[in-house]
């Protein structure tokens, strides 16, 4: 049977341990939260990426937008857009037709066909298709973008 | 003072710290609310079609490679009089009329002034674009450049 | 031996591990005045922790420094708390260090054989001033920029060593982009390393000699390091942390207008712990001021021997104590004068 003394001690230890865990734990959590980056939620934004006539007939090109690289292709009059980011490890693909493929990734030689499907190489999944329209001779692609973390104008005082 | 009493004192202090940090959490939520309200939404639709075309001209001829994305500047040019860097373009609306800007693009900057006269020649200079950019492209480009920095959108890209 | 797998790889006896915990400390250490030495060390720990966190976001480049501080204060989660604690702790550090120095001075604990401990302590004090000076310059608002310019110019006017020291500090004859990098490196690299090295020696000497007791205190009783002393230290530590958190909530960190090398603001002042020399230098001609300030620092460093000499010259007259207290009071008066002006 534990003595009253040692029971008191035990109880005090438990209280101390819990309180210390709460206090120091809260401090540690705040410090870790500080380090975790503040990231804005994604938004869908439409960007003009190329003049419609810049896309070669039955060909393709990689266009640049402030929100990333876009692979555009013309397939007998059908305009398609994909993210030009290789699904393997993030390199930018190129229009480089070859045996059964049209898109080629220089990093590990992944290849994709006109529908964005993987033909050969290490990429684990097809290219991400992107909504695309043409207006006034301009190609517009809808991209998922995070706004950059902006600084408010004021000075803390 | 007994050890047990001391343990309780430390426990109380720890809980006080915990309580203070909970209040800190509330203050932080308030800040997050205020800050969140100040974040500018991202939209490319705020640009009219001419500015959008102009932006494509800017990229097509590689202007961004020297003047930075959206003319933000920051590209080094050793010993250049413009602070050792290629100048940004966000203030051109304050110093150029549309006609002057078009002429500047056509002529380029054949020699860049040295910051230190005894130092080396700045390696980068602006080529003359008279044979490359003209007509609608030039108009769109000038319109785009004049829009940079004016009523600066809070987001750095668009 | 430590049992099993771990014991084979860390060949140390449990007894050897437990021994430091069972150390007996003399009871005079329970007196609150003797806690003033540990507080600066604790605050240093806080500074290292918050400082490291701040380096994740701070950019030591004149073009981005100010905005990175704004980012920390306005955008990051709890950034205001971390930055605020870092700033508040730096203020508290000087209070704690000064109280500790006064305690050691008044109890004359610097006398033989503890003179070196005192000397190392003064070095620590100077390093702490260095931390305050370099840290403040990193914010890169108007006060930062100009206080740094004036402060380094002052160093530059020292005879002989002044100009090389100034160029070394600034990374050039004038304030230039390298200057901020250098101050940053002093603040996060050179000074912390120096501080740790000196504090280890300082603590080593304190341990070897034992904390000096008042001559009148002849008690022989002791108390345990663990859990008694540890609990006391924990309590003090928690009080300090609590004070820092609450103070930061009550007065969150601020920023002045961004640094403008073309405009000197009407009122530049260094931080309050620099008020005494700052005011002194305003009162007397520059060279007189610099020489006398230098002598003051030398007297501080060599105080144990100065005091001993005075005691020999006029035994029992406590000239050292009188002179020392006069010195402290004079410093305080200068501080108040500057604060009120």
In percent, the amount of chain A with pLDDT more than 70 equals 93
Mean pLDDT of A72-76: 92
Kindly indicate whether the ipTM for this predicted assembly is greater than 0.95, answering yes or no: no
Nearest of B102, B93, B114 to residue B140 by alpha carbon: B102
For chain B, give the mean pLDDT.
80
pLDDT of residue C1: 55
| Nearest residue of C to residue B33, measured between CA atoms | C75
Q: Which of B12, B24, B116, B155 to mutate to test the interface with C (most CBs of C within 10 A)?
A: B24
Which comes out higher in pLDDT, residue C26 or C323?
Answer: C323
- Burial of residue C215 (CB within 10 Å: 0-12, 13-18, 19+) is exposed
Q: C residues 55-74 near A, CB within 8 Å? A: 56, 67, 70-71, 73-74
Task: Encode C251-269 in three state secondary structure.
Answer: CCCCCCCECCCCCCCCCCC
Whether residues B21 and C245 touch (CB distance < 8 A) is answered with yes
Whether residues B17 and A138 touch (CB distance < 8 A) is answered with no
Measured CA to CA, the distance from residue B72 to residue C7 in angstroms comes to: 61
Tens-place pLDDT, residues A112-153: 999 999 999 999 999 999 999 998 888 889 988 877 676 776
Facing A20 at nearest CB: one of B8, B14, B56 = B14
How many residues can be counted in chain A?
157
Which of the residue ranges A25-34, A80-89, B6-15, C278-287 would you say has the lowest mean pLDDT? C278-287
CA-derived radius of gyration, chain B: 27
Half-sphere exposure of C253 (CA within 13 A, CB side): 25
Cα angle A40, A44, A47 (rounded to 5 degrees) comes to 115
Contact B158/B44 with Cβ under 8 angstroms?
yes
Considering only CB atoms, which chain A residues are within 8 Å of C252?
156
Tens-place pLDDT, residues C287-300: 888 889 989 999 99
Tens-place pLDDT, residues B4-16: 888 999 999 999 9
C-alpha C303: how far from chain center = 19
Measured CA to CA, the distance from residue B66 to residue B135 in angstroms comes to: 23
Query: Min CA distance, C132 vs chain B (Å)?
Result: 26
Whether residues C228 and B6 touch (CB distance < 8 A) is answered with yes
**What letters, b where the CB count within 10 A reaches 16 and e where it falls short, cover A17-32?**
eebbebbbebbeebbe
pLDDT of residue B40: 58
Mean pLDDT of B35-57: 67
Q: Strand, helix or coil at A50?
A: strand
pLDDT of residue B128: 86
pLDDT of residue B154: 35
Residue B43 scores a pLDDT above 60: no
Considering only CB atoms, which chain B residues are within 8 Å of A16?
7-8, 10-11, 14
Q: What subunits make at least 3 CB pairs under 8 angstroms with C?
A: A, B
Mean pLDDT of B115-139: 85
A78-83/A94-95 β-pairing: unpaired
Residue B126 scores a pLDDT above 60: yes
Query: Min CA distance, C283 vs chain B (Å)?
Result: 40
Tens-place pLDDT, residues B57-93: 887 787 877 887 777 777 788 888 887 888 888 888 8
Nearest of A25, B30, B24 to residue C85 by alpha carbon: B24
Its pTM stands at: 0.79
The pair of structure tokens assigned to C33 is 């005045």
The pair of structure tokens assigned to C232 is 């006391």
Whether residues C255 and A156 touch (CB distance < 8 A) is answered with yes
Contact B88/B73 with Cβ under 8 angstroms?
yes
Q: Strand, helix or coil at C136?
A: helix
Considering only CB atoms, which chain A residues are within 8 Å of B158?
66
Give the pLDDT band of residue C244 (cuts 50, 70, 90): very high
Whether residues A48 and B7 touch (CB distance < 8 A) is answered with no
Contact C57/C68 with Cβ under 8 angstroms?
yes
Sign of the Cα torsion C30, C35, C41, C44 reads positive
């Amino acid at each position: 049977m534990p003595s009253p003394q040692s029971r008191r001690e035990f109880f005090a230890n438990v209280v101390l341990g819990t309180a210390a865990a709460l206090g120091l734990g809260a401090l540690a959590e705040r410090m870790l939260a500080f380090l975790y980056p503040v990231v804005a939620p994604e938004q869908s934004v439409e960007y003009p990426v190329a003049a419609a006539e810049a896309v070669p007939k039955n060909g393709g090109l990689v266009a640049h937008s402030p929100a990333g690289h876009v692979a555009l292709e013309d397939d007998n009059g059908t305009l398609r857009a994909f993210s030009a980011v290789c699904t393997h490890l993030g390199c930018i693909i190129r229009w480089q037709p070859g045996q059964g493929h049209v898109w080629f990734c220089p990093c590990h030689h992944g290849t994709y066909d006109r529908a964005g499907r993987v033909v050969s190489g290490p990429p684990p999944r097809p290219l991400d298709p992107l909504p695309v329209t043409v207006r006034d001779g301009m190609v517009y692609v809808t991209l998922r973008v995070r706004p950059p973390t902006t600084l408010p104008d004021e000075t803390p005082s | 003072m007994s050890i047990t009493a001391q343990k309780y004192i430390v426990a109380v202090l720890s809980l006080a710290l915990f309580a203070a940090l909970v209040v800190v959490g509330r203050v932080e939520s308030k800040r997050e609310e205020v800050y969140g309200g100040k974040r500018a939404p991202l939209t490319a639709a705020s640009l009219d079609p001419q500015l959008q075309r102009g932006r494509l001209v800017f990229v097509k001829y590689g202007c961004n490679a020297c003047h930075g994305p959206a003319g933000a500047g920051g590209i080094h040019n050793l010993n250049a009089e413009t602070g050792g860097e290629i100048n940004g373009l966000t203030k051109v609306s304050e110093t150029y009329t549309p006609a002057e800007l078009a002429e500047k693009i056509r002529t380029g900057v054949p020699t860049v002034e040295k910051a230190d006269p005894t130092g080396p020649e700045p390696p980068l200079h602006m080529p003359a674009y008279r044979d490359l950019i003209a007509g609608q492209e030039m108009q769109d480009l000038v319109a785009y450049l004049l829009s940079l920095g004016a009523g600066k959108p809070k987001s750095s890209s668009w | 031996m430590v049992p099993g797998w771990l014991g084979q790889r860390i060949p140390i006896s449990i007894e050897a591990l437990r021994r430091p915990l069972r150390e007996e400390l003399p009871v005079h250490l329970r007196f609150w005045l003797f806690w003033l030495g540990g507080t600066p060390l604790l605050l240093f720990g806080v500074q290292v922790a918050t400082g490291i966190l701040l380096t994740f976001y701070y950019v030591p480049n004149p073009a981005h420094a100010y905005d990175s501080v704004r980012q920390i204060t306005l955008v990051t989660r709890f950034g205001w708390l971390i930055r605020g604690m870092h700033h508040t702790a730096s203020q508290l550090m000087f209070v704690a260090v000064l109280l500790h120095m006064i305690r050691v001075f008044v109890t004359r604990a610097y006398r033989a054989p503890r003179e070196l401990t005192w000397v190392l302590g003064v070095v620590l004090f100077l390093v702490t001033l260095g931390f305050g000076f370099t840290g403040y310059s990193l914010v890169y608002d108007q006060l930062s920029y100009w206080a740094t310019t004036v402060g380094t110019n002052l160093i530059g006017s020292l005879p002989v060593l002044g100009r090389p020291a100034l160029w070394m500090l600034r990374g050039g004859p004038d304030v230039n982009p390298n200057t901020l990098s250098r101050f940053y490196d002093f603040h996060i690299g050179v000074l912390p390393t120096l501080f740790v090295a000196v504090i280890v020696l300082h603590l080593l000497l304190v341990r070897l000699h034992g904390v000096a007791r008042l001559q009148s205190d002849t008690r022989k009783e002791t108390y345990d390091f663990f859990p008694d002393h540890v609990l006391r230290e924990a309590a003090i530590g928690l009080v300090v942390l609590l004070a820092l958190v609450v103070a930061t909530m009550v007065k969150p960190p601020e920023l002045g207008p961004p640094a403008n090398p073309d405009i000197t603001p009407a009122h530049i002042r260094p931080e309050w712990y620099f008020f005494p020399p700052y005011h002194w230098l305003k009162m007397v001609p520059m060279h007189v001021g610099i020489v006398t300030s230098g002598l003051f620092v030398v007297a501080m460093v060599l105080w144990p021997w100065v005091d001993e000499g005075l005691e020999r010259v006029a035994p029992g007259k406590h000239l050292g104590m009188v002179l020392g207290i006069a010195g402290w009071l004079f410093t305080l008066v200068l501080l108040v004068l500057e604060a009120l002006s």
